Structure 1
Amino acid sequence: MTEATGAARRAAAFQRMRDAHSTEMAEDYVELIGDLIVETGEARLTDLAENLGVTHATAAKVVQRLAREGLVESRPYRSIFLTQAGETMATASRERHRIVLQFLLAMGVSERVAEADSEGIEHHVSAETLEMFERLTRERTPG
């Protein structure tokens, strides 16, 4: 393998990682927006910033990006709403989180650690691995 080929492969791997982190942030935001709407009837920038531990300006930038991507609708001084695409993303993210969390709990991981770990794993797990997590959880969980 040449140096150029190795560099190109590494660059492609880093690009995939950057893309994954971008998707991870979008998933966290749309999932939280959906949760806030269910819990409080609305999702506001202030609530997003507080729940995610970011500044109001950071939350506003991300919401603008999500709006450009067609995941949310937002107007100044109004609540933020999920589009159908945003709701689909939030639902899928919640389901992945549930499967990973249940798998970790079935493996004996403490609830506190399983909850924290599932937050990161849910964004980087393949469909194949997720399916295996679900199958193994069913096999290990009585009833």
Structure 2
Amino acid sequence: MTADKETVAKLRAERFQRVRDAHQMELAEDYVELIAELIDRTGEARVVDLASYLGVTNATVNNTIARLQRAGLVTSKPYRSIFLTEEGQTLAEASRERHELVVHFLMALGVDEPTAESDAEGIEHHVSEETLQAFRKFMAKKKG
């Protein structure tokens, strides 16, 4: 393999690794963001509510909550509400901010709000910090 082919292969592998890493964080981000939203809206986040909002079973939520507990993002006790740790709250706030930025950026491009909300669910987990900065810069110019 030539140096150019090796460089291209390495760059491609790095891009694919970034996508794989984003997929791993995607579920955690969705959960902590929803837990924060439920706590803000109703004062608590319960397994049954998460399952209903996400369209999954209670068992799926319980398994994911167990993983989030091991990751230090949430705390919970059997048959009790779920709470975010400080780290979980930080992740939830960052996820919410990123989601809102992507939605507003898409709407600034002329995308209707329901489509922007739907599309942001995928984009927000895979967009780089560099691209988010470009979105912020674009939005600041648009406001000014």
Q: Distance in 1 between matches of 2:123 and 2:33?
A: 15
Match runs of 1:30-69 below 5 Å: 30-69=32-71
Q: Distance in 2 between matches of 1:76 and 1:116?
A: 33
Indicate the percent of aligned positions where both proteins have the same amino acid.
Answer: 60
Which amino acid is the alignment partner of residue 54 of structure 1? V
CA-CA distance at 1:135 after TM superposition: 1.1
Is contact 1:45-1:59 (8 Å) kept? yes
Question: Aligned in 2, Cα 1:107/1:11: closer, same or farther, shift over 3 Å?
Answer: closer
Q: Distance in 1 between matches of 2:13 and 2:105?
A: 33
Question: Aligned in 2, Cα 1:14/1:128: closer, same or farther, shift over 3 Å?
Answer: closer
Q: How many residues align?
A: 139
Where 2:106 maps in the other structure, the secondary structure is: helix
Where 2:125 maps in the other structure, the secondary structure is: coil
Which amino acid is the alignment partner of residue 73 of structure 1? T
Match of 1:81? 83
Structure 1 unpaired stretches of 5+: none
Q: Distance in 2 between matches of 1:49 and 1:120?
A: 19
CA-CA distance at 1:13 after TM superposition: 5.6
Is contact 2:19-2:126 (8 Å) kept? no
Structure 2 unpaired stretches of 5+: none
CA-CA distance at 1:12 after TM superposition: 6.5
Match of 1:114? 116
Q: Distance in 2 between matches of 1:43 and 1:102?
A: 27
Residues 74-108 of structure 1 show CA distances to partners (whole Å, capped at 9, x for unaligned) of 10010000000000000000000111111111111
CA RMSD of aligned residues (A): 2.0
TM-score calculated relative to the size of structure 2: 0.88
Q: Distance in 2 between matches of 1:95 and 1:110?
A: 19
* 4+ runs deviating over 6 angstroms: none
Match runs of 1:19-38 below 5 Å: 19-38=21-40
Where 1:123 maps in the other structure, the secondary structure is: helix
